[in-house]
Amino acid sequence: MPFSDPLPQSLPTAAPSPSTPLGPFLDSALAWASWSTVMAFVGLIVLALLVAAPSGRVGADTQARVRTRLTAAAVAAGALAGPAALVGLAHDAAGGPGGGYDYPAAWAGLFDGSGGGFLSGLQVGLPMLGALLLIPVALRRAPAGRFHGALLWSGLTAGLTALGSARFPTQVRNGLGRTVFETVVWLAHLFGAAVWLGGLVGLLLLALPGAVAPADRGTFWAPTIRRFSLAATVCVAAITLSGLFLYWEHVDGPGQLLSTMYGRVLGVKILIFGSVLVLGAFNQFWLHPRVQALRTEGDAGRAAGVALRRFPIVVAAEVALVLLVLFVAPFLHGSARSQAYQAQQAQQAQQVGKARQTTLADAPPPKLPAKQASASTWAYGSAETAVVIAVMVIGYRCSGRLARRRAMAVAATTPTSHPLPTSTARNVPS
């Protein structure tokens, strides 16, 4: 997509100097609590579905502990997501900064017949409904059946709907096609972040002692990490492509990343996101091949042990960075394009004189109209999409080849002519 478009010159040429658009810290903290809980709820359920096959290859005790730990965490996240959304609505109903919380007004606004009330009701009610559906799965320690799978899919549907309702439009703006496309982009952005965050939280919980028995580590961890790597690769592609569109929509060139408050906050978000990608690459290209070697008989030595010890540390760092991204995101208000234009008009207003400035002191800051996509925009966007998908596919396939080569190298050096003593064989992961 093109990196810059010229600012129009036909809009009003005088406006007050724009204020700092960071917004109150409390508002961002409330938004962070709401986003992080519902995203963790969705991602934990997705991970529970992803590890269903690997957990089915291990012992019944490990299978039950894995399922119980993930679904119990999802129940907790869903139970917190609904109240967190209600607290944010109560704060908004009280009038914003310094207004406190008006819970009766917020509660009365749920499903009040308006489009906004319906979406607010979904945000509050669906996560708690999904958590309620998962309680039988979290409490039952018997092997999962079709009933458990149906409950997981029902809870996931409730979570995705609650997450998406925050970006469902209540009216058509800039045409039906543009509204639908923007909604799809936002849903890809949110769903990708949710699966990534919740999956990392779930992997961290499973890496803690007590979930996977030592004898089941090789059978469980290698396919589990590989499955999550595929899901994470898809999520990174979705976040990157949707982020590129949002960048094109709100920023006119890299210079606005430094000259506007929106751009500086976005720059911080991009830097943190890049740090998460670095840790993810380390996980996929260094840790995963060593964990894969656990599936090779006889490799229970130093390399595998180091990989398993470092894995939860890296995952914990990724979780912290993703949560930090979610905390920074609510500080993005407006757009860098409009803020740059407001600053330009404020400079021109200083030349008009104090009388003119006084007249316009109470006028709202001007905003630029939405960008219109041209043929070159679609060409750039198509090229970016192809490049991102190609990089993700190549990276995933290369990490898989590294894992297979390491496993083959370990197998070639593992002695097989002499069987292990019975007491030693019990300690070797299968």
**Poorest-confidence range of 93-107, 217-231, 282-296?**
282-296
Q: What is the rounded average pLDDT of the residues 366-385? A: 82
Given a cut of 70, whether residue 419 has pLDDT beyond it is: no
Q: Which residues contact 278 (CB under 8 A, 6 or more apart)?
A: none
Q: Is the pLDDT of residue 354 over 70?
A: no
91-105, 143-157, 231-245, 290-304 — which is least confidently predicted?
290-304
Summarize pLDDT for 160-192 with one digit per residue, the tens. 999 999 889 888 877 888 889 999 999 999 999
Task: Give tens-digit pLDDT for 390-413.
Answer: 999 998 888 878 777 766 766 666
Cβ–Cβ < 8 Å for 155, 131: yes
More confident residue, 196 or 7: 196
pLDDT at 342: 80
Say what the pLDDT of residue 299 is.
45
Q: Are 127 and 71 in contact (CB under 8 A)?
A: no
CB atoms within 10 A of CB 385: 15
What gap in Å lies between CA 365 and CA 342, rounded to an integer?
Answer: 6
Q: Rounded to 10 degrees, what is the CA torsion of 354, 357, 359, 361?
A: -130
Residue 44: band (very low, low, confident or very high) from pLDDT cuts 50, 70, 90: very high
Residue 326 has pLDDT above 80, yes or no: yes
> How far is it, in rounded angstroms, from Cα 138 to Cα 74?
9
Helix axes 115-139, 146-165, angle to 10 degrees: 150
Q: Are 165 and 89 in contact (CB under 8 A)?
A: no
Residues 61-81 have a mean pLDDT of: 92
Calculate ∠ Cα 226-231-237, nearest 5°: 125
Is the per-residue pLDDT at 80 higher than 90? yes
Each residue's pLDDT tens digit, 274-309: 999 999 888 888 777 777 766 554 444 455 555 667
The conformation of residue 295, written as its DSSP 8-state character, comes to G
* pLDDT reading at 367 higher than 80: no
pTM of this prediction?
A: 0.84
At 102-149, the pLDDT tens digits run 899 999 999 998 999 999 999 999 999 999 999 988 887 545 567 788
pLDDT confidence of residue 142: 47
Kindly report the CA angle at 32 between 26 and 38, in degrees rounded to 5? 140
51 contact partners, CB below 8 Å, separation of at least 6: 66, 70, 206, 220, 224, 227
Average pLDDT over residues 341-363: 62
Whether pLDDT at 2 is above 60: no
Residue 255, pLDDT above cutoff 70: yes
Whether residue 327 contacts residue 35, with contact meaning beta carbons closer than 8 Å, is answered with: no
Mean pLDDT of the chain: 81
